[in-house]
């Protein structure tokens, strides 16, 4: 009971932040309910939707509320990383990871590309997502497994450092950093990898290949003329 009193102010503040942002996200959903069903509207307003809707949920609401639910109990219960504490971390991480199997696991890039190409000839968001799930069945299953594994590892890190430093703020910070990497930095890293490294290298390779094949063709032509 004494330990709960120590952590209670942090729990209340973090939970309040999470609930406030969650209420804002729900308000945004209700206010834009009809628009959020339109794939064309989402494509035209994707950056505004990410900033005003997706990122507050992913970067603030999820890390705060999930850490209060899954990590706060073990941080309060254990003052040090004992064998029992490790069991608590593993159990907490497992319970936290399992729900991450749910969801479409269709990436925003896939969704917007399908809509721009009018791949499924529909403006309905759910229909587009369902069709992408069917089309990319194997990829979706792999992503679901990867999502569960990564969520488990995130839970382990948050639980470990939360107990080690006796701070729920530390576990929230780790969760936030991981979600930031997945939601914002990883797509940026992929874009940079594609446009800064892969495409230039591929362009140079194709240029050299064409040049080599042209020279080869000219040599063959000359040799044939020689005969």
pLDDT value at residue 218: 61
In a domain, 220, yes or no: no
Percentages (nearest 5) of helix, strand, coil residues in the chain: 85, 0, 15
Answer yes or no: are the C-beta atoms of 109 and 42 closer than 8 Å: no
In a domain, 111, yes or no: yes
pLDDT value at residue 227: 47
Domain count, the chain: 1
pLDDT value at residue 199: 58
Q: Which segments of the chain have a pLDDT < 70?
A: 183-202, 205, 212, 214-227
In a domain, 214, yes or no: no
Q: Give the 3-state secondary structure of residue 71.
A: coil
pLDDT value at residue 195: 53
In a domain, 198, yes or no: no
pLDDT value at residue 103: 81
In a domain, 63, yes or no: yes
- Tell which phi-psi region holds residue 216, choosing left (phi > 0), alpha (psi between -120 and 50) or beta: alpha
In a domain, 10, yes or no: yes
Place of tokens 């799930």: 133
pLDDT, averaged across the chain: 84
Range of the domain at 12: 2-192
pLDDT value at residue 90: 96
In a domain, 221, yes or no: no
In a domain, 159, yes or no: yes
pLDDT value at residue 123: 87
């Amino acid at each position: 009971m004494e330990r709960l009193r120590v952590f209670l102010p942090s729990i209340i503040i973090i939970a309040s932040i999470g609930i406030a942002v969650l209420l804002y996200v729900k308000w945004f959903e209700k206010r834009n309910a009809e628009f959020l069903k339109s794939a064309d509207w989402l494509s035209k307003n994707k950056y505004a939707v990410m900033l005003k809707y997706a990122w507050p949920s992913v970067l603030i609401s999820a890390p705060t509320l999930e850490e209060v639910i899954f990590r706060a109990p073990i941080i309060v219960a254990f003052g040090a990383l004992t064998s029992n504490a490790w069991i608590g971390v593993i159990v907490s991480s497992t319970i936290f990871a399992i729900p991450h199997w749910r969801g479409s696991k269709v990436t925003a890039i896939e969704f917007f590309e399908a809509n721009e190409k009018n791949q499924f000839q529909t403006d309905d968001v759910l229909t587009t997502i369902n069709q992408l799930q069917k089309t990319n069945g194997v990829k979706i299953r792999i992503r679901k497994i990867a999502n569960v594994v990564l969520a488990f590892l995130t839970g382990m890190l948050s639980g470990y450092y939360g107990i080690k430093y006796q701070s729920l703020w530390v576990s929230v910070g780790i969760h936030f950093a991981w979600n930031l990497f997945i939601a914002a930095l990883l797509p940026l890293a992929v874009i940079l990898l594609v446009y800064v490294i892969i495409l230039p290298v591929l362009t140079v390779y194709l240029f050299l290949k064409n040049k080599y094949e042209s020279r080869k063709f000219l040599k063959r032509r000359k040799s044939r003329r020689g005969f």
